[in-house]
Structure formats: C-alpha cells, structure tokens
Amino acid sequence: MILIFVEQVTNRLRYTLDFIFNARGFNYELTTDITYFTAANARKFNYSNRSFEGIPTVTPCNLLFEEGIDAIALDKVCFEDLEIMSFNQIPDLLASIFFVLSRYEEYWVSERDAHDRFPAVCSMQSVYGWLNEPICDRWAISLLTFIGIPLTPNVEFKIQPTFDIDSTFAYREKGLLRNMAGTIRDVSKGKIARVKERFQVLSNTRKDPFDTFDRIKALTVNYPDTRCFWLMADYGSYNKNLAFNNTKQREIIKDIATRCEIGIHPGYDSYTSAKPLALEISRLSAVLEKPVTFSRQHFLRVRIPETYTLLVEQRIKEDYSMGYAETTGFRMGTARKTAWFDLRTNEITGLMFQPFCYMDGTLNEYLKLCPEQAIQEVRELKRVVKEFGGTFSFIWHNETLGFKQHWAGWELVFEESISYS
C-alpha cells in the first residue's frame, strides 16, 4: 500500500493514479490529513505544494485539480533523467500522464485532416519524439522507481488480431449494376487481370479474393481475443459494403460470431451523428441476436468527445479506434486497455479504450514500406509492448488478408504480428 498526500482529491487525480498503481498491481490510499500522513507507517509519496522531510515529492501543476479545458503552455523538460512535460512552466510527471492518456490536446486542437481526423503530427508525442513508445507506461514506471517501489520483471502481454470488414466480398453478391460499373472502371484503367478475376469469381471458378473468413476463423483458435468490426452502413462514397440485410453476409457474420466477438464498424458519417449510428448498431444486433458492445470507427474517424459520447449513449463498452491511420505508434501513450476520461464532465466513464499499434494500410499505403521494412517496424512495436505490458492490438482487413495484388508478400508481416517469439 502506498500512502499519497494531496491537498485535493479529484477524478482526474484518481484516474491518473489508477493507471500508475492499480494497473501495475499496487494499491494506494489518498489522504489530505497531514497528521495521519506524518504518523502512518507506510511507503509514502507527496503530491502537493507542502514539504515533508525524506518523502519523495512531485510538486503539482494545476491540471489534475481544475475542471476546465484550458490553453496550456507546454514544454519538454527532464525529471530523473527522463523527458516529461511542463505545464505553464511547472514540470509534472503525473500531469504528463493524464494529458496524454485523456487525449487532452484533442479537445482544443483545431487542425484536422481531409477525413476530419486529429493528425498524428499535431500530437505532442509526435512533436517531442515519444509517439513510438508507450510513454505513459514509461512515466508510470519512472514514478514507481522514484518512490522506491520495487518492480517485478513480469508484465502481462498478449497479442490481439483485429479485422475491419469494410467489404465482405470484392465481387460476389454485389449485383449486376455494381459489377458492370466495376468492370468498366477496371477496363478504363487497364486492370485486365482484375477483369478476368471478376468473371472467374462470378462464374464460380474462383474464390472471391476478399473471402478470407476461414483464415480468420482458424486464427481464433490460438487468439481468442480476436475481434471483427463489420460495416453495416448504407451504401455511399466511403461505405462500400453489401446491403446490411444481404443473406450471405448475414450467414458469414453468424458463423464468425461463433468464434470471436463482432463489433460495429460505424459508417463514415456516423462518428458525430446519433441516428445512423443507432441504426447501424441495431442492424448488427439483429443479426447477432444480442446487444453490440464493441466498436471501431470506419476510417478511424473520431472527434473527441462527440464520438465517444454517442457510443456511450448506445451502450458500447469497448472502443478500438485509438491509433492513427497515417503512422504507427501509441496515440494514448499505452497499449493497456484504459477507461475513457471525459474532460467535459470530469468523469471516468464505463467506456474502455483498447489502443492499437498499427494498421495494415499504415505500413503499406501510408508509409510505403516494403514487407521487410514492415516486419522490422512490427517487431519494434511488439518489443516495447512486451517491455511495458499491455495488448499488442493491430488492424488488418479481410481484403488484405488474401495477400493479393499490392499485398503480395505481406503474409510474412502478418505472421510476424501474431508471433509471440
């Protein structure tokens, strides 16, 4: 038990301390009573402006004790030979953890990309060079060391493959008009091999290239935490899946659901719109014949807090959107499943975030890595998750899992991702 003296107890403080201590198997007690703190026979830590001789102390800034979402002058400074953040010129390791973990900067940053997403380059982790490590875990361990708490070398680590099902099939079940339009488009672009493939699939002489569901089912035997997220939105410019009531798709969803959890993949416009989100969730729930409690945003479109407020209203329990499309790394500064802290209400919510470390398209299409380079990137991400503990969660798609066209040769990247060695 660690006894911690503070001058005020807040939800922001508890959220931060839960991550530092409880997530690592340590209990703590908060007190504002100077007499009790001084007399207690316990390991102690002081997080206040008061001074106690011989007690490890961090002098706090105001971040964990205020209620607003304010503009802050940020800087990079050193604490115990470790880079942390200062807030209005006050270095504070605990506030550094809270700032990153709560995604504080995403509440007041105005810059967005073409899909209305918070750009990784705008993150202070990116600015300070911390994005490719679970910096909140590193800070937490640094604080434990500073207090004098001995650390055990064993940390929980697991691998979690996850799949976004944006398009159940490439050609099958899409009807005459969509296949005719696709054929014309492929011919106009000189994609003759794709035209041939389409006709082979439609004539039942070749398997649809997106039909990789047997591979996903086989994977769940050794990776029971596998997740699939299904797009059930109405057809549109960025929503290209089959109709939600397609019979064959429903059969596949039911089959996959016997092997792993299936969550909703809210459509492109559902990230700030309650009505389509509720409709899409109800569609998937009807197929599964049970409530939907898992979610990941299509195109990773997230606007904090609006998106997550809607998910909470729809009784979603876990979200898997916390990562970046354009680069790898740790958006929340951790790979650990962590509750969403709503800064507008200053409450620890019941919605849990499972961050992901990378997406298939990030490696291939955004970063333009070759398979050999991608393998090295995956190994390094996996290494730091092993070092600090958490879940090595990553995104692939059923369409990329076929390893066709520009995904040829990427099977080794996927195999590295699911390797515990």
pLDDT digit string (tens) for 332-351?
999 999 999 999 999 999 99
**How does residue 129 score in pLDDT terms, banded at 50, 70 and 90?**
very high
Q: What angle do CA 260, 264, 364 make, to 5 degrees?
A: 80
Structure tokens at 26: 């340590």
Please give the Cα distance from 58 to 60 (Å, whole number): 6
Which class in CATH covers the domain with range 157-170+210-417?
alpha beta
Whether the CB-CB separation of 318 and 351 falls below 8 Å is answered with yes
Q: Which of 61, 13, 5, 57 is nearest to 30 (CA)?
A: 5
267 burial (CB, 10 Å; 0-12 / 13-18 / 19+) is buried
Mind listing the pLDDT tens digit for each residue in 288-319?
A: 999 999 999 999 999 999 999 999 999 999 99
Whether the CB-CB separation of 271 and 264 falls below 8 Å is answered with no
Indicate the SS3 state at residue 397: strand
Please give the Cα distance from 286 to 19 (Å, whole number): 36
Indicate the SS3 state at residue 84: strand
**How does residue 109 score in pLDDT terms, banded at 50, 70 and 90?**
confident
Which segments of the chain belong to CATH 3.20.20.370?
Answer: 157-170+210-417
Mind listing the pLDDT tens digit for each residue in 187-211?
A: 787 888 776 877 888 888 899 999 9
pLDDT surpassing 80 at residue 372? yes
Across the strands, what pairs with 420?
A: none
Whether the CB-CB separation of 228 and 219 falls below 8 Å is answered with no
Residue 194 has a pLDDT of 77
pLDDT surpassing 70 at residue 115? yes
Mind listing the pLDDT tens digit for each residue in 241-268?
A: 999 999 999 999 999 999 999 999 999 9
Whether the CB-CB separation of 84 and 98 falls below 8 Å is answered with no
Indicate the SS3 state at residue 371: helix
**How does residue 179 score in pLDDT terms, banded at 50, 70 and 90?**
low
